[in-house]
């Protein structure tokens, strides 16, 4: 006969086996179905924003599933973008949703079934974006500018065009001056056309007057500057280089001067060659005349 301890151990072992069997059955019944509704999470979520046109990007390309974008403003409930609900795209233009430019936003990218496919998942897999604040994080584009030389040619006036943004006020597109107001400044880099030494001036307006040497050509670059921002986000994109006319003392590059010298030498050489050829032809003609015998009278 079995002892009480032995019977107790047998009962415990039987109970463990039954429990394990039940767990296996539950996994087969529900685990498989649950796995069918589990999709890959979005990766590499980044914000791309230039002059307040803001696009959220991520990966990978979905296969048999979709993405939905939900945007959260600090202290507010989430809001879905109507153009990015169960989409197969990996980017979403959120410009129209970021109405408070000073607010901080976070976006969730949810991985969901294809449209029309049901899901029993309580919460779909999702990935959070980094925080983003349009006022402090959007990149400012390169400004355009015009160069005007004063009549006495002692000053150059730069008129800077404030870059236009993607933000509307009624029917008007706002420029960066409308948004940043007194926070906006411009850095102006300039040099003589034949010099590599740069000078720098900062202006809080869209016009800058620079004293220059009369008749000398100067080259300029301009970029927006926001001292209220942090680190590298203070500077906008650098403009292309533009130069003023040289006036009475136009300065030519070494290449232009060298090209002019070569052209003059070639012209002189061509003239000399033509002259030599003409002389030889004349000598040949004279020699031919001397060889003809005189007629008898």
Is 4 a domain residue? no
**CATH code of residue 58:** 2.60.40.10
Residue 116 confidence (pLDDT): 84
Residue 33 confidence (pLDDT): 42
Residues 198 and 221 in one domain: yes
User: Band of the pLDDT at 197, cuts 50, 70, 90?
Assistant: confident
Of residues 197 and 256, more confidence is placed in 197
Residue 178 confidence (pLDDT): 97
The rounded distance, in Å, linking the Cα atoms of 42 and 59 is: 6
Task: Determine the structural domain holding residue 212 and report its residue range.
Answer: 144-249
Residues 205 and 114 in one domain: no
Is 24 a domain residue? no
The residue-averaged pLDDT of 145-171 equals 95
Residue 275 confidence (pLDDT): 74
User: Band of the pLDDT at 271, cuts 50, 70, 90?
Assistant: confident
Domain end position, chosen among 100, 135, 170: 135
Phi/psi-derived region of residue 123, left when phi > 0, alpha when psi is between -120 and 50, beta in every other case: beta
- pLDDT of 282 higher than 80: no
Helix (H, G, I), strand (E, B) or coil at 63: coil
Is 149 a domain residue? yes
Of residues 250 and 70, more confidence is placed in 70
Residues 128 and 48 in one domain: yes
Per the structure, the count of domains in the chain is: 2
Residue 74 confidence (pLDDT): 82
pTM above 0.85, yes or no: no
């Amino acid at each position: 006969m079995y002892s009480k301890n032995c019977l107790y151990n047998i009962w415990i072992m039987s109970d463990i086996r039954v429990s394990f069997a039940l767990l296996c059955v539950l996994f087969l019944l529900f685990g498989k179905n649950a796995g069918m509704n589990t999709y890959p999470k979005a990766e590499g979520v980044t914000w791309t924003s230039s002059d307040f046109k803001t696009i959220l990007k991520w990966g990978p390309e979905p296969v048999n599933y979709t993405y939905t974008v939900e945007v959260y403003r600090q202290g507010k409930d989430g809001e879905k973008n109507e153009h990015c609900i169960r989409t197969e795209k990996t980017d979403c233009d959120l410009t129209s949703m970021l109405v408070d430019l000073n607010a901080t936003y976070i976006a969730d990218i949810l991985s969901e079934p294809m449209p029309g496919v049901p899901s029993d998942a309580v919460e779909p897999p999702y990935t959070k974006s980094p925080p983003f604040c349009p006022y402090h994080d959007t990149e400012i584009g390169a400004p355009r500018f015009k160069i005007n030389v004063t009549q006495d040619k002692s000053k150059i006036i730069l008129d800077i065009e404030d870059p236009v943004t993607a933000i509307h006020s009624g029917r008007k597109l706002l420029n960066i001056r409308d948004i940043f107001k007194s926070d906006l400044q411009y850095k102006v880099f300039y040099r003589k056309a034949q010099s590599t030494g740069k000078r720098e001036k900062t202006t809080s307006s869209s016009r800058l007057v620079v004293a220059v040497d009369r008749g000398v050509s100067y080259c300029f670059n301009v970029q927006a500057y926001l001292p209220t921002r942090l680190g590298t986000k203070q500077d906008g994109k650098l403009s292309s280089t533009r130069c003023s006319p040289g006036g009475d003392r136009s300065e030519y590059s070494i290449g232009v001067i060298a090209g002019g010298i070569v052209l003059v030498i070639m012209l002189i050489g061509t003239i000399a060659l033509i002259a030599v050829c003409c002389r030889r032809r004349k000598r040949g003609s004279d020699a031919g005349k001397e060889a003809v015998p005189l007629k008898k009278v």
